[in-house]
Structure 1
Amino acid sequence: MRIIASFALAAILVAPPALAQEKSDAAHGKSLYAQCRSCHTPEENSVGPKHCDVIGRKAASLPDYQYSPAMTKSGLTWTPENLDRFLQKPAALVPGNYMPFAGIAKAKDRADIIAYLATLHCS
């Protein structure tokens, strides 16, 4: 019995801890999105392209916006995973893109912004 208990204890101690999945917070993402508003709006193109319906959209696909050649050739679709990678370090995912932004270091902040972006739908 002691051997079985020892194995059970060893399995618990060696097993990787379950990572707590924090729920994304679109309201917090909306407040963080304020830093994006110098170039982007949800509803119309500005310095950067509009963000309504960005989730699932092919990168560089809005016909009324002039994208960088790098973004046009990227072949990306804006999935939550690709948005996360782009928001972390835009120049690393799409070298030569026109977005002069260093990125967002905190994964939770990126997740919250992406959750907010998912709420933005074009009229």
Structure 2
Amino acid sequence: MELRFNRPAFVFSILLFVVLVLLATVGAGWGWIRSFSGDVLAVMWVYCMLASVVKARPQLVAGIAFSLGVAVELAQYLASNFGIRVSNPIMRVVLGATPDWWDVLAYALGAVLVLGMAMLGRFRQRRTVALRAL
């Protein structure tokens, strides 16, 4: 793992961030669609943010992004059990307030999707190099 800047991953992370902000504001009344898709996209956003500054195997970066989502979910669970409440409304939207196993499923789906896209990109890149060699 080494530090380096990846412009496409950074641009994609900005686009995902805009979509997440729109989901959190405009999609406030969309119920489970907003929350589930937001959680899927959140893990993808974390992956892209990490991939924009760190060169590492996609499996590692996806695992870190998924683990971060699970850590947030665990923090929500512990906070609800100990009666801790985040008072800042913006942070409550960003971090969530209610633990749910469906969120963990959404994080896993986001990690699998972004890992699949990364693997597909690597496959296409190798195929292009092989075709050029012919």
More helix by share: 2
Same fold, judged at TM 0.5 (above): no
TM-score, with normalisation over the residues of structure 1?
Answer: 0.29
TM-score, with normalisation over the residues of structure 2?
Answer: 0.28
